[in-house]
Structure 1
């Protein structure tokens, strides 16, 4: 379907963008980016209340919330009805992933096509692979196929692991490192191309703003450097001003740990981490979307201030800059 009136980010002004799964970590940052560009938002989620904190950032009538379970085609249709553009951000590591991630993406894409949306962005993940041992990666690959079959002009974005001060992978590690003097390191040699969450959000807006250029394409969006897991732990500890002992965990033991109930890492997450999280280079990246990704070192020292003994009054660390 040809997009009408989408030519540059200013064209998002006044457009209604429906975001399924929009109350999550990335969704809240995408919402802020779209609000700044004048778009109107409908945030559809199983728990839309998680995004209510965005209300003060919006003008009167600029944002609305809807309860939606994308596994139900009727709810998916109601969520995107009347929207000029659709962003699908639904993802999880729990439950029936094929039904939620793959089936849900199909329902959203079919609804977007049927209701006349002019653009669609589907957020997948680096590592999406039908042949992966991780069900999550299989579901992500299946979702890409279903979206493009239903909405051929959709843009597929595959982000690497995201980081931000407010959440994401680095914040999780920072909390652990600040708490324990001895920290296990899983997959210490694995390389991660961590991506600043606002850069990921800008990629979504760039794709939405010019579907004629980006529609039907797949982009791998990743950070500017590949950092080893052990190196990442050490950088965070240095930025906090903490002396920590890092214990590399053998892969066999890591696999057993991931199989235990109640642990912070499940079997799918371990399978993905074990293989690293870097762009393959087979797809275009952020530069083709006009975005220069920002490195972790630009933020790390400032973000770790809260973990230092004397906070901002502590001596400056050399961190990861």
Structure 2
């Protein structure tokens, strides 16, 4: 017997795959709503046959949202972007999309709504990502006062876009010639990385437990690191010697905006053949502020998620592929 049906928007993405598994474990059927259903086939493996379904939907399109929410008892919104591309702008994908989704959910009488935001969400932020995350929170709460908001720090697991990105950068052909990694703003920005499985558990608890209604939680792992310390973790794991060179914000920011423009408007960059842009001006702007759980915030502990995975325990399990000989690599002597 199931507890009901949860529609997870953005469920085919990184965190969505973990969230689907946790929701099924708690007895919920899951409907994964995503733009491209061909990218979500493996999400069905999150549960037994019939427990996980996939539906095409676009958070910018009311009719598709209505179809995706038909018969749903709860909604989880995981839709978010790290850079703009085509019709996917921060406003349309994050603030406007979340507002429309919550509005349709409210019209259908759905009171259990979990909005996954981010630490640093701030309506007054000069970073478009952080500003639209805050606008999304406000729009969701305006439509559904009982919505639960979760704000994770950077999320890590085998599919992450943080540790994998910088490990790839550290092992690029250019590094054999110029072994320098940019420490933006001196590399002193602090982060509190949280494991995707722990975030997924927080999502499942928020759907399951009515006591979380109307509350905001900040999700961080067991340890705080500076950007430079995370570089050190990566380099030690992949057994590479690289030098961190301080890159001031006033240099990194315009370079980031230029990179973002190239990746957004100029083929073949805009076609996606070359992956995501290495850095955008908006991301540089966000690095000016620490990304850690506030002292007075409700946390994972308040959600009953207490046995947190560490960077040191998880990251080596997938960054080994960046070593010279992969899992058979023998660490060099100091």
Q: Given the two structures, how large is their TM-score scaled by the length of structure 1?
A: 0.89
Shift of 1:97: 1.9
Shift of 1:317: 8.2
- CA distance, structure 2, for counterparts of residue 300 and residue 132 of structure 1: 31
Which residue does 2:320 correspond to in 1? 305
1:280 matched to 2:269? The reply is: no
- CA distance, structure 2, for counterparts of residue 27 and residue 302 of structure 1: 20
Which residue does 1:207 correspond to in 2? 206
Q: C-alpha offsets along residues 233-262 of structure 1, whole Å, 9 cap, x if unaligned? A: 112111111112222212211112111123
Which residue does 1:233 correspond to in 2? 231
Q: C-alpha offsets along residues 264-313 of structure 1, whole Å, 9 cap, x if unaligned? A: 22222111122131122232011000112322112233333222233334
- CA distance, structure 2, for counterparts of residue 264 and residue 244 of structure 1: 18
**SS in structure 1 opposite 2:39?**
helix
The number of equivalent residue pairs is 306
Shift of 1:157: 0.4
Aligned counterpart in structure 2 of residue 143 of structure 1, from 98, 119, 136: 136
Shift of 1:153: 0.9
Contact 1:16 1:85 (8 Å CA) reproduced: yes
**SS in structure 2 opposite 1:157?**
strand
- CA distance, structure 2, for counterparts of residue 54 and residue 208 of structure 1: 19
- CA distance, structure 2, for counterparts of residue 33 and residue 172 of structure 1: 26
Q: C-alpha offsets along residues 92-147 of structure 1, whole Å, 9 cap, x if unaligned? A: 23133223211211111122222232411111111110100011211111111111
Contact 1:82 1:116 (8 Å CA) reproduced: no
Aligned counterpart in structure 2 of residue 116 of structure 1, from 96, 106, 109: 109
Contact 2:91 2:132 (8 Å CA) reproduced: yes
Which residue does 1:271 correspond to in 2? 285
Which residue does 1:3 correspond to in 2? none
- CA distance, structure 1, for counterparts of residue 114 and residue 239 of structure 2: 41
Shift of 1:88: 0.8
- CA distance, structure 2, for counterparts of residue 100 and residue 235 of structure 1: 33
Shift of 1:55: 2.3
Which residue does 1:106 correspond to in 2? 99
Map 1:45-60 onto structure 2 (within 5 A): 45-60=34-49
Q: Given the two structures, how large is their TM-score scaled by the length of structure 2?
A: 0.86
Aligned counterpart in structure 1 of residue 242 of structure 2, from 234, 241, 244: 244
Which residue does 2:78 correspond to in 1? 89
Deviates more, 1:191-200 or 1:87-96: 87-96
Contact 1:163 1:171 (8 Å CA) reproduced: no
**SS in structure 1 opposite 2:40?**
helix
Which sections of structure 1, spanning at least 5 residues, go unmatched? 1-10
Which residue does 1:4 correspond to in 2? none
Which residue does 2:271 correspond to in 1? none
**SS in structure 1 opposite 2:11?**
coil
Shift of 1:14: 4.4
Contact 1:301 1:317 (8 Å CA) reproduced: no
In angstroms, what is the RMSD of aligned CA positions?
2.0
- CA distance, structure 1, for counterparts of residue 253 and residue 51 of structure 2: 46
Shift of 1:73: 2.4
Contact 1:23 1:45 (8 Å CA) reproduced: yes
Q: C-alpha offsets along residues 198-253 of structure 1, whole Å, 9 cap, x if unaligned? A: 11111000111102x10000001111211111111112111111112222212211
1:126 matched to 2:119? The reply is: yes
- CA distance, structure 2, for counterparts of residue 115 and residue 129 of structure 1: 29
Which residue does 1:33 correspond to in 2? 22
Which residue does 1:65 correspond to in 2? 54
- CA distance, structure 1, for counterparts of residue 319 and residue 98 of structure 2: 37
- CA distance, structure 2, for counterparts of residue 111 and residue 46 of structure 1: 18
Q: C-alpha offsets along residues 32-88 of structure 1, whole Å, 9 cap, x if unaligned? A: 222333321111122232211122343222222221122222322221121011101
